[in-house]
Amino acid sequence: MQSPVEEAALSRSLPPALVTLAALVLALAAALPAAAWGVRPDAPAGAFRLFHERFAGAAYHFPLHSASTLGLTGFEVYADVAVDRDFDSESFYPEVVSGDLPGGWLAIGRVGVRKGLPGHVDLGLAYGRALDGDVELLSGDVQWAIVDGGALTPALSLRLTGTQSLDSGPYQLEQYGAELMFSKGFTVLTPYVGGGVVWDEGKLERTDGSHVSTDGTRFVAYGGVVINLLLPKIVVEVEKADAVQAAVKLGFGF
């Protein structure tokens, strides 16, 4: 365990954005209770495949930002949550999920950081978790502005993203997506839309050492609005994968 002196030295050696991100991650981890629900290792193969299709769509790393880049000196740290309200009403639920989801909703929370790089490129990294669940996620994304946009012109970007579950339970998820994004900024509001294709693979490790796996390709679409309050920025987004869900984000940066 690091001493206070060592921790202070580490904080001074890291960029402020990463220090803030670390604080957000620790705050999220401390605030979350022990897992109240999990994926059954003995789930039937057919039910597990249906679960994976729905969960993978809900857990996809949607952007929750516009198509414009941050710029070379820009950065953002953020926290967001996406909610699938009807998850517990699906036929696979009692066969795959042990325990109860709070309110019957599947909620995926994330904290992350984005940084502007040369060449109209943004790079992002995020930690996510199924709230009250045992599935943890690590996501990364890179966005390149084909047209960066301005006062009179819209922005158009290509975004690539990937997500990998951490070793936190019997369920494993691997996912990659490619999207096109379009946005137009105004004084306070920046509406945006986007869509693309996603490939994902799910695997269920059974207690006897065997496993069930499934993979597939799906389309995703989304639309949202960035409310530019400087500090903070608020984003509301509607997302469509296997089901329609809603997400909200709180971000700080410039």
Q: For 73-125, write each residue's pLDDT tens digit.
A: 999 999 999 999 889 899 999 999 998 887 888 999 999 999 999 999 999 99
pLDDT at 11: 38
According to DSSP, the β-strands at 211-228 and 189-205 are: antiparallel
pLDDT at 25: 47
Q: Is 12 helix (H, G, I), strand (E, B) or coil?
A: helix
According to DSSP, the β-strands at 136-147 and 106-117 are: unpaired
170 Cβ partners below 8 Å, 6+ apart? 38, 39, 40, 41, 204, 205, 206, 207
CA gap 137, 127 in Å, rounded:
6
**Among 49-53, 115-119, 139-143, 230-234, where is mean pLDDT lowest?**
230-234
CA gap 84, 26 in Å, rounded:
25
Closest of 129, 128, 111, 112 to residue 36, by C-alpha: 129
* Predicted TM-score of the model (pTM): 0.84
Token pair in block for residue 140: 């990364």
Number of domains, the chain? 1
pLDDT at 27: 53
Residue 41 has pLDDT above 50, yes or no: yes
pLDDT, tens digit, 9 for 90 and up, residues 172-209: 999 999 999 999 988 899 999 999 999 999 999 998 88
Other residues' Cβ atoms within 10 Å of the Cβ of residue 99:
13
pLDDT at 8: 41
Place 28 in a pLDDT band, splitting at 50, 70 and 90: low
Domain that holds residue 240: 4-253
